[in-house]
Amino acid sequence: MTASRRSRYGSALMAVSLALTGCSAAMSSTAATSPTAREPDDGVEWPLKFKAHYFDAYCFSTYGCKVHYRGRLRVDHPDDELQPSSEALGDKYPDILDAGMGPIPNFPPPAKVSWRAKDGTPLEAEVDIGEIFRDELIRHHVAREDATPNATSGAPGIILEVNDRTINVYMRAMIWLKQPRDPERPHSNYRDDIIKVFSRTY
């Protein structure tokens, strides 16, 4: 891609971003002339943001765990059966957790969770996914200079975990890299780290 095409592509992406966020013409003009706001002409829209997401929920060391999100009962465990602990997964935890329901436009009402802790204590919670991710930024561990121009699909996974008395919320997004992480594995040109964004014990 030539420098002029990269410039046009970068300008188009910036225009779309400004339209989505509702920035005024005056604000965009100020940003364009500010040295601190000027972005590299690399065709990458940065920071990475999302307007839709996937969702899933998991429960460990709980009885009768139920998770409602976007009007659907995503988890419905028996009231009299203690779910295995996350420790039972060994070193696969938490990397094994993923999200499969979606894509879901940002953001439905808060997730509703009810369960009994390992000691039998009944608990309830509302988890406001929209508040946790109100900035709509994709969480990841990739430097801008390492990401490809089309670094992400724009719909990361959001994972809600109930673990005994604690609720954790993670984000998982596949970010494409310019170079493979392992030179001997050409298809390792991505990262999909699972990143904890929220945690609360009840």
pLDDT in tens, 147-166: 999 899 899 999 999 999 99
Alpha helices in the chain (DSSP H): 3-21, 25-33, 129-132
CB 68 within 8 A of CB 59: no
**Across-strand partners of 101?**
55
DSSP letter at 154?
S
Q: What's the pLDDT score for residue 23? A: 36
Give every CB contact of residue 159 below 8 A, 6+ residues apart in sequence. 55, 56, 57, 58, 97, 98, 99, 169, 170, 171, 172, 194
| 62 touches 69 (CB < 8 A) | no
Beta partners for residue 169, in sequence order: 160, 198
The mean of the pLDDT values for the chain is: 84
Closest CA to 109 of 134, 126, 122: 126
pLDDT tier at 11, thresholds 50, 70, 90: very low
Q: ∠ CA(43), CA(44), CA(50), 5° rounding?
A: 140
| Domain range summary for the chain, segments of one domain joined by + | 3-33, 52-201
pLDDT range class, residue 45, cuts 50, 70, 90? confident
pLDDT at residue 124 tops 50: yes
Q: What pLDDT shows up at residue 1? A: 46
Residue that wins the pLDDT comparison between 42 and 57 = 57
- Position 13 pLDDT exceeds 60: no
Rounded mean pLDDT, 108-119: 99
- Measure CA 90 to chain center: 23
Give the pLDDT confidence score for residue 161 in this predicted structure: 99
> Which pLDDT belongs to residue 42?
57
Q: Which two tokens stand for residue 185?
A: 């594995």
Strand intervals (E) in the chain: 52-60, 63-69, 72-76, 101-105, 111-116, 122-127, 157-163, 166-172, 175-176, 190-191, 194-201
